[in-house]
Amino acid sequence: MDTPALEWVTRFASHLRDQRRLSLHTLNNYQRDLDHCVRFCDESGINAWNALHAQHVRSYAAQMHRQGLGGKSIQRRLSALRSFCRFLVRHGHLGSNPAQDIRAPATPRRLPHTLDVDRMQTLLDAIADDWLAQRDLAMLELMYSSGLRLAELVNLDVHDIDMLQREARVLGKGRKTRIVPVGEKARTALERWLEERQLHCADDESALFINRTGSRLGPRSVQKRLKLWALKQGLDSRLHPHALRHSCATHLLESSGDLRAVQEMLGHANLGTTQIYTHLDFQHLAQVYDQAHPRARKSGKGS
């Protein structure tokens, strides 16, 4: 594409960073997805964005499908292009959005991986025999107690936790802040961790969870430590931190049935995102039904 067209991509990236204040991870995803579209335009002889039409976008989606890209990934790239074209329309560079009505092929939605209550208890009942283990158990308790995303957990500062009110201030997606409750087990684990933290923390470090050097703990370290604990406790060693968030949501929904409350706690902008947990809840109901209802079981007698 020509230089003015690429400059629009740069302007859009600045808008996402400065106006919408998206995270670096999200910005990188947008940039990567738009880079794919630019390459497609180059291959198709499209030199300017006002030369991009709906039929081109359909061809772009079809090409990705032929290359074996999944529906979710195709939809993400189309969503990035749709947002970019919407930006161009607002600035008068396009008269309409060519990607507006183009959708990716539908793909079955995978249910999130969760731990049942017994396996979750097995994980959280681990014994802490050093300060790093004390930190890990505080992290696991907090993720499960409050349904935190991994990025939300590692970005917490000490002052974000209110022990008296038993709540945490969390910076979620789109830099939206929400207040989540902290359960009694999590509070106890955090109190023990904070006593240890002050012995190992760098003087100017505000992070709630720190690494061996006393600075903020990173997401990859949390993933590795969870796998270690899962293996140690006889659970699936492929366990991902997000499973604790999914388990929190599922167990809350099973007990309360309050979908709106779960949505608010998880920080979902769309209730449809939270509704995935109703499918998990139904699976649990179906399992209980099959085991308990007298008319659900096959008779062992011949007909």
149 in catalytic set: yes
The CATH class, in words, for 3-90 is mainly alpha
Question: What's the chain's average pLDDT?
Answer: 85
For this structure, is 187 an active site residue? no
**Active-site choice (82, 245, 246, 251):** 245
CA gap 75, 155 in Å, rounded: 29
Residue-wise pLDDT tens for the chain (303 aa)?
A: 889 899 999 999 999 999 988 888 889 999 999 999 999 999 999 999 999 999 999 999 999 988 888 888 899 999 999 999 999 999 999 999 999 988 877 665 665 577 888 888 999 999 998 999 999 999 999 999 888 989 999 999 999 999 999 999 988 887 888 888 899 999 999 999 999 999 999 889 999 999 999 999 999 999 999 999 999 999 876 788 988 988 888 887 777 666 677 777 777 666 656 556 555 454 554 554 456 555 555 544 443
As a whole number of angstroms, the distance between CA 288 and CA 148 comes to 28
**289 counts as catalytic:** no
Q: What is the pLDDT of residue 189?
A: 95
| Second-level CATH architecture of 117-289 | Orthogonal Bundle (1.10)
Specify whether 277 is catalytic. Answer: yes
Amino acid at 176: K
pTM equals 0.59
Domain residue ranges of the chain, discontinuous segments joined by +: 3-90, 117-289
pLDDT the model gives residue 116: 83
Of the candidates 173, 185, 227, 284, the residue annotated as catalytic is 173
Q: What is the pLDDT of residue 303?
A: 38
Choosing from 149, 216, 246, 251, the catalytic residue is 149
